[in-house]
Amino acid sequence: MSKVPVLVTGGAGYIGSHAVLALKDGGWPVVVVDDLSNGSRELVPDEVPFHDGSVADGALVTRIFAEHGVEAIMHFAGSIVVPESVEKPLDYYRNNTVASHALVSAAVAADVRHILFSSTAAVYGAPERVPIDEDDPKLPINPYGASKLMTERMLEDAAAAHPFNYGALRYFNVAGADPQGRSGQVGKGSTHLIKIAAEAAVGKRDHVAVFGTDYPTPDGTCIRDYIHVSDLAAAHVAALELLTERPDENLVVNCGYGKGLSVLEVLDSIDRANGTPVRREFAERRAGDPPQLVASNARMLDKLEWRPAYGDIDTIVRDALSWEHTLLER
């Protein structure tokens, strides 16, 4: 199998930086573009070529393609905060949909052969049933999910008309950190449960608010499918292998473990890892939270040369917590 040069957009961000590590560990030539609006330069290893700029800058990405002989793209750059997308929808359509259009146009012009796109379970909206299958209705309930779904559609149509294939990876709840401590979530204004709980465990916060205890679930709190960020990064490498080996096929796939955990179960895991319990405060529901999001990962297991390496909540939480300690020492 040939390991073609890969451009990682958003490679200084949380998931992108883990993908860079997975590619590098697997021997793939890799180059990063990131405008550092949310990313951190220090998450990208020094030996990886780094370009500070936007994927919407067609001249810049065209230069990068030529300079590094790029044949594949992993496209992570974008905006990811759901409530912000409701307040600033046009920013989300610009940063996620319009910027992707610029990137894909430049890629087509430069004959880049493979594009992997960072999509989300938010494309399903509030699903009627779990586990969610890839073919279930795509009815996003916020601009974030809609902006990602539009890009998926654009890729589908463009891949049918031009000589490239694509993958859209729909992430469920991504958490944890590189088990070797090389990267993790930096958290400017964290909103995600495990990150917040880890911050509370190391004393950066006083408590964790549990948003809603009256959902129609066994313990009344929301259920999510948490996947370790390094397992997700490995899934990207496996997906890229598939795209390069089967240039006539595309791939749309859920990324999760197919296992649901409640907010309280996650907090129990934090308490186990931390030794002392983190203070919980029961609060109102957070607007827009569906009661349950769990992936069917049958397709992921079937299509990809991939199996979870860190597939239990205690491992995810352990790595999130040790990264939080690393951040304290910085």
Active site residues: 144
| Nearest distance from C-beta of residue 200 to ligand UDP, angstroms | 9
The nearer residue to ligand UDP, 69 or 83, going by C-beta atoms, is: 83
| Nearest distance from C-beta of residue 195 to ligand UDP, angstroms | 8
| Nearest distance from C-beta of residue 222 to ligand UDP, angstroms | 3
The nearer residue to ligand UDP, 37 or 191, going by C-beta atoms, is: 191
3-state secondary structure 14-31: HHHHHHHHHHHHCCCCEE
What is the rounded distance in angstroms from the CA atom of residue 198 to the CA atom of residue 277? 11
Give the pair of three-digit tokens for residue 173.
């709840």
The nearer residue to ligand UDP, 105 or 217, going by C-beta atoms, is: 217
| Nearest distance from C-beta of residue 123 to ligand UDP, angstroms | 12
By beta-carbon distance, which residue lies closest to ligand UDP?
Answer: 222
Buried-state track 34-58, b at ≥16 Cβ within 10 A, e below 16: bbeebbeeebbbeebebbeebbbbe
What is the rounded distance in angstroms from the CA atom of residue 317 to the CA atom of residue 72? 32
The nearer residue to ligand UDP, 29 or 290, going by C-beta atoms, is: 290
| Nearest distance from C-beta of residue 226 to ligand UDP, angstroms | 8
The nearer residue to ligand UDP, 217 or 322, going by C-beta atoms, is: 217
What is the rounded distance in angstroms from the CA atom of residue 312 to the CA atom of residue 272? 13
φ/ψ of 31, rounded to 5, equals -135, 145
Q: Residues interacting with ligand UDP, by CB under 6 A? A: 173, 191-193, 196, 208-211, 222, 224, 263, 286, 289
The nearer residue to ligand UDP, 64 or 321, going by C-beta atoms, is: 321
φ/ψ of 215, rounded to 5, equals -75, 155
| Nearest distance from C-beta of residue 313 to ligand UDP, angstroms | 13
- Residue 87 CB-density burial (10 A; 0-12 exposed, 13-18 middle, 19+ buried): exposed
Distance of CA 235 to the CA centre of its chain: 11
Alpha-carbon separation of residue 220 from 88, 196, 214, 257, 265 (angstroms): 31, 20, 5, 22, 11
| Nearest distance from C-beta of residue 186 to ligand UDP, angstroms | 16
The nearer residue to ligand UDP, 246 or 286, going by C-beta atoms, is: 286
What is the rounded distance in angstroms from the CA atom of residue 195 to the CA atom of residue 176? 8
> Cis peptide leading into 308, omega within 30 of 0?
no
What is the rounded distance in angstroms from the CA atom of residue 58 to the CA atom of residue 180? 35
Residue 77 one-letter amino acid = A
